[in-house]
Amino acid sequence: MCGIVGYVGDRNMESVLLVGLERLSYRGYDSSGIATISGGELSYWRTPGKLHELEKVLQNMSIRGTVGIGHTRWSTHGEPTEVNAHPQVSTNGKVAIVHNGIIENYLSLKNKLSAEGFLFRSQTDSEVIAHLIDRYLQTDLAAAVERAVLDLEGTFAIAVIAENQPDRIIVAKKGSPLIIGVGKKENFISSDIHALAPHTKEIMYLDDHELAIIEANSVIVKKINGAQVTKEVHTITWDEVVADKGGYDHYMLKEIHEQPSVIRNIISKMVSPDNALIFDKLHISNGDLNKTNRLIIQACGTSWHAGLVAKYMLENYARVLTEVDISSEFRYRHMLSEGHAIVAAISQSGETADTLACLREAKSKFFKVLAFVNVKGSSIDRESDGVVYSYAGQEVGVASTKNYIAQLVTLYLFTIHLAVLRWTLSKEDAVKMTNALKRVPDCIEKILSQVEKIRAIAEKYAYSKEFLFIGRGVNYPSALEGALKLKEISYIHATGYAAGELKHGPIALIDKNLPVVCIATKSSTYDKMLSNIEEVRARKGRTIIIATEGDTSVQHLAEDIIYIPEIEEDLSPILVAVPLQLLSYYIALKLDCDVDQPRNLAKSVTVE
C-alpha cells in the first residue's frame, strides 16, 4: 500500500505533487507529506490524516522547487502520526525518502545505525532507508541509494532526493510498483498511472532490482549493482476517465448505480452481435485450455468471493476441477505442479501483493497464468500469460462494488467460452446463457429503483451490534460478500455462512436481536434454504430475506423482504450483490462512517 509520487521539472511543484497524491489516496490515507528542494535547501511537510490536512498546512505557502517527492500512507509500522508520516529524512535533514513496501530487517539495521549515531525519530521501518543512504552518501546520490538498497530485505519502491544533488530523484524498486512518466523537459514518478494520467501518456515500468536516475531532461535506468538497461517507453492508449462523484454523495453509491452500464459495456466489448465471445488478450491457446484438468483460482477479499462463485459455474459447465484459494494462504502451501493446471489470479487493482506473489510462484513452476484484472498496465496485467479485463472503469470507493459485478460477468463469459471449447456445452446453450446475461442490466435497474425501500430497511437495523448473512450454493459466496461489505464500511461485525452449516455452530448466535440476512432466491437449493430460515425464525432471529419477485411463500418467514427480479441461478449472485451493497451503504451512512475511505483500509493492498 502507500502511494509515492515525484516530479522533476518547471511546473508548479505543489500542485503536481498534491494532484498525484489525491489520485493515489486510494492506496492509503493515514497521513501524507511532500519534500522539495528549492535554492539548494531541502524542506518537507507532513500531516497525519487525509490529504486535506496537508493541503490546509500548505494553503498559504508557495512551495517551490524543481524536484519534489510525495507520499500517502497506509500504516504498517507505527501509528499514523506526523513523525511516522513520509517523507522520512536523514538525521542531518539533507536526504528525504518516500517508501512503499516493508523493510523486514529494519530492526537490525536500526540497531546498527543507532549505534553509529544516527538519530531515529519515527517508529517506521522506512526511516532506516533515509539513514542508510545518508551513511553511504559521498557525492553520488545514485551510488549511495544503490549501496543502501543492497542492505534491505523485504519490498520497496523508493524515491529519494538529497540537497547535494538537487536536480534529480533517484528511484529503486523491489516488489512494489513504480512507474516513470516521461515528459518534455520534465519527468514524473508514481506508484501507478492514475497519478500520471493528467500529465503524460508516455510510461516506463521499472522492474524489480532496477534503479533510475530521473532528471528533467533524462532518465537513466540500471540494474541495481549491474549495468545500464534500455527501457521501452509505452504509450498509454486507453482513455483515463477521471472519476468524479457524478452528483452522488459518495463514489460507492455512484459505482453501485453504474453497474448496469458496466455490464452493458462488457457485453459490447466481449460479445459480438452474433453472440461470439471475444477474448482478445486471452493468449492461452485453445489446446492448453482444452488440456487443462485443473484450474487454480487465487485472489483476496471480494475478488476471492468472485472466484468462489466462478467455481460453481466452471465445474458445472466446463467440467474442470476448480480450486479457489485465498492468495495469502495459497502462497505458503506447497503448490503441486501436477497435471495441466492453469493458475488464475483475480484482482481489481492488479497490484495485490499476495496475488502477485502467487502468480510469480506459479510462473516459476511453469504454470500458465491467466489474470482477471481491472486495472490495465498493473503488475498482474503485465506479468500474466493471458488477461481478461473486467472493464469496470476506475473504481474509487475502497469497498469493491462495480468491479465485483464485472468480475462475475467476465468469469461467467469465460466459463461459457471454456465449456464450448471443451465440448461440455453446446453452442445453442452457450447462446442461451449469453442472452440471459443481456437481461441482467435491466434487472439491476429494477433493484436500484427500490433504493428508498432498502434504505429504510438498512436504517431500521443500523444500530445492531452484529449481523449474520446466509446463503447456499452459488449464493454462499454472496453471503460472504454481503458480510464483508457491511463490516468494512460500517465497522459492524458480520459473518457470512453457508446456510447448511448454521447448525454446526453459528446457530448458537441467534437470538431476538440478531439480524440474519438470508439469500433465498429461486434456486436448486431453495427448499433447503427455506428450512434453514425456519431454523433461524424458530430461534427468534430477525430475518431480512432476499427473494425472487413474486415468491410469496417466504413472506411468513421474513421480518423484512427485498425482492429481486427472477433470473437464472448462475446469474443470481450478480443481482443479489446489489441489495447487499445498498444495505451496507445505507447502514454505514446512518452510522456516519466514511463510506469511501473506511478506516484502516486501502484500495490497493501492496504489502503482504
Q: Give the catalytic positions in this structure.
A: 2, 603
Residue 303 or 525: which CB sits closer to ligand F6R?
A: 303
Task: Return the H-helix or E-strand segment holding 373.
Answer: strand 368-373
Residue 126 or 347: which CB sits closer to ligand F6R?
A: 347
Residue 25 or 36: which CB sits closer to ligand F6R?
A: 25
**Exposed e or buried b for every residue in 390-413, given b needs 16+ CB within 10 A?**
bbbbbbbbbbbbbbbbbbbbbbbb
Residue 127 or 255: which CB sits closer to ligand F6R?
A: 255
Q: Residue 40: exposed, middle, or buried by beta-carbon count in 10 A (0-12, 13-18, 19+)?
A: exposed
Residue 526 or 586: which CB sits closer to ligand F6R?
A: 586
In the complex, the smallest distance separating the C-beta of residue 488 from ligand F6R, rounded to whole angstroms, is 6
In the complex, the smallest distance separating the C-beta of residue 347 from ligand F6R, rounded to whole angstroms, is 3
Q: Which residue has the cell 464450448?
A: 420
Residue 200 or 352: which CB sits closer to ligand F6R?
A: 352
Q: Which residues contact 527 (CB under 8 A, 6 or more apart)?
A: none
Nearest to 576 by CA among 259, 126, 323: 259
User: What angle, rounded to 10 degrees, do the helices at 259-270 and 402-421 form?
Assistant: 30
* Phi and psi torsions of 167, nearest 5°: -105, 10
Q: Which amino acid is at 274?
A: D
349: Cα within 13 Å, side-chain hemisphere:
28
In the complex, the smallest distance separating the C-beta of residue 390 from ligand F6R, rounded to whole angstroms, is 9
Q: Which residues contact 566 (CB under 8 A, 6 or more apart)?
A: 522, 548, 549, 550
In the complex, the smallest distance separating the C-beta of residue 451 from ligand F6R, rounded to whole angstroms, is 20
Query: Is residue 360 within 8 Å of 383, Cβ to Cβ?
Result: yes
* Phi and psi torsions of 343, nearest 5°: -100, 125
Report residue 206 as a C-alpha cell.
Answer: 521499472
With CB atoms as reference, the residue minimizing the distance to ligand F6R is 301
User: d(Cα 115, Cα 155) in Å, to the nearest integer?
Assistant: 25
C-beta neighbour count of 154 within 10 angstroms: 16
User: d(Cα 435, Cα 307) in Å, to the nearest integer?
Assistant: 22
User: d(Cα 83, Cα 503) in Å, to the nearest integer?
Assistant: 50
User: d(Cα 384, Cα 380) in Å, to the nearest integer?
Assistant: 6
Q: Which residues contact 244 (CB under 8 A, 6 or more apart)?
A: none
Classify residue 277 by its DSSP letter.
B
Which positions lie near ligand F6R, rule CB under 6 A? Answer: 300-303, 347-349, 352, 355, 399-400, 484, 488, 605
In the complex, the smallest distance separating the C-beta of residue 111 from ligand F6R, rounded to whole angstroms, is 34
Residue 221 or 602: which CB sits closer to ligand F6R?
A: 602
Write the DSSP assignment of 513-541 as a string of letters. T-EEEEEE-SSTTHHHHHHHHHHHHHTT-
Nearest to 390 by CA among 265, 298, 301, 272: 265
In the complex, the smallest distance separating the C-beta of residue 395 from ligand F6R, rounded to whole angstroms, is 8
In the complex, the smallest distance separating the C-beta of residue 73 from ligand F6R, rounded to whole angstroms, is 17
In the complex, the smallest distance separating the C-beta of residue 146 from ligand F6R, rounded to whole angstroms, is 31
E strand segments, 121-194: 156-162, 169-174, 179-182, 187-190
In the complex, the smallest distance separating the C-beta of residue 323 from ligand F6R, rounded to whole angstroms, is 18
Residue 162 or 489: which CB sits closer to ligand F6R?
A: 489
User: d(Cα 181, Cα 196) in Å, to the nearest integer?
Assistant: 6
In the complex, the smallest distance separating the C-beta of residue 306 from ligand F6R, rounded to whole angstroms, is 8
Residue 260 or 482: which CB sits closer to ligand F6R?
A: 482
Residue 211 or 356: which CB sits closer to ligand F6R?
A: 356
C-beta neighbour count of 249 within 10 angstroms: 12
